[in-house]
Amino acid sequence: MKRLTLKWLVCGALTAPLLLPQASRAAEPLPVVASFSILGDLVKVVGGERVKVSTLVGPDADAHTFEPKPADARTVQGARLLVLNGLHFEPWAEKLAKSAGYKGVTLIASDGVKPRAMPAEEGHSEQDANGHSHDIDPHAWQDPHNVMLYVKNIAKSLSSLDPAGASSYENNSSSYLKELETLDADNQAQFAALSVQQRQVITSHDAFGYFGARYQIKFLAPQGVSTESEPSAKEVAQLIRQIKKDKIRAVFMENMSNSQLLAQIAKDTGVTLGPKLYVDALSGPTEPGSTYLKMMRHNVTQLVARMKLN
């Protein structure tokens, strides 16, 4: 009996080193890279502990003007899934993936979203069937119903790459979809008390198109869809006249935008700037927009409070 026990112990000692690395490999989370912080949050929610998410454009940073560094190429190279917004939001992403020699799967999270067409800006325009140029508004996440599509797309891609985690991704996404439904209902209820005249807002750049369409709010901005665009003096003057004419008091800067122009407009119109909104990027962990849900609730609270002054 002792010899049998000793033999079992010896065999166990010899085979254990062979088994442990296999178990370790099985437990390794799936490496995923998201283009910017809002997408990174959505991937973390759906993926849970089964994914390791890296974000290229971090909190309070501007994806419109992002310039990848060599370290970003190394991050992308090591991923199995690269998650992009699409809709021309990350013009630098394709070049980055190519330079990194990326061989993994690329997911366009906005797949299935009906894009909003806008007057064309350089670098974003597409032509319709009649040959007219239109800008594609990339900020689809500003409508929670679009984010539901994002979440479903993310869950599908993760399940394809990690079939063993499919039930986990399905459970996580289902729970989050319910939270998005609640968010949207709460937003609708808060805006319901506002008149048409009150539903006018000035922001740094034109990033609230989907939000405005969802909740029937008119957003005006001195900058266009991209923060790289510069408004003309005529456009700024028109905006100042409209603020004075309609007595608009809901004027906001954004966390990732240069607020100098908007501050000057506020000064010229005698309007006090409202608290900053989180638009193209989440906040850091100590600020009120550190997750998508927190970002949206913060923005809605601030918008409603200022629009009531209109």
Per-residue pLDDT of the chain (310 residues; tens, 9 = 90+): 444 443 433 344 344 444 444 443 456 999 999 999 999 999 999 999 999 999 999 999 999 889 999 999 999 999 999 999 999 999 999 999 999 999 999 999 999 999 998 755 444 444 444 444 448 999 999 999 999 999 999 999 999 999 999 999 999 999 999 999 999 999 999 999 999 999 999 887 789 999 999 999 999 876 544 445 566 777 777 778 888 888 888 888 887 655 677 777 778 888 888 888 999 999 999 999 999 999 999 999 999 999 999 8
**Domain of 173?**
28-122+130-186
Which CATH number does the domain housing residue 174 bear? 3.40.50.1980
Last residue of a domain, one of 148, 167, 186: 186
For residues 174 and 151, what is the distance between their CA atoms, to the nearest angstrom?
9
Residue 53 lies in a domain: yes
Residue 12 lies in a domain: no
Q: Are residues 205 and 266 both part of a single domain?
A: yes
Last residue of a domain, one of 186, 217, 232: 186
Q: Are residues 146 and 235 both part of a single domain?
A: no
Q: Are residues 165 and 233 both part of a single domain?
A: no
For residues 180 and 141, what is the distance between their CA atoms, to the nearest angstrom?
11
Supply the pLDDT for residue 252.
86
Last residue of a domain, one of 143, 162, 186: 186
For residues 124 and 64, what is the distance between their CA atoms, to the nearest angstrom?
11
Q: Are residues 156 and 235 both part of a single domain?
A: no
The strand ranges marked E within 232-303 are: 252-254, 274-277
Greatest C-alpha distance within the chain: 97
Q: How far apart are the first and last CA of the chain?
A: 89
pTM for the whole structure: 0.82
Q: Are residues 163 and 223 both part of a single domain?
A: no
Q: Are residues 86 and 197 both part of a single domain?
A: no
To which H or E segment does residue 171 belong?
helix 166-191
Overall domain count for the chain: 2
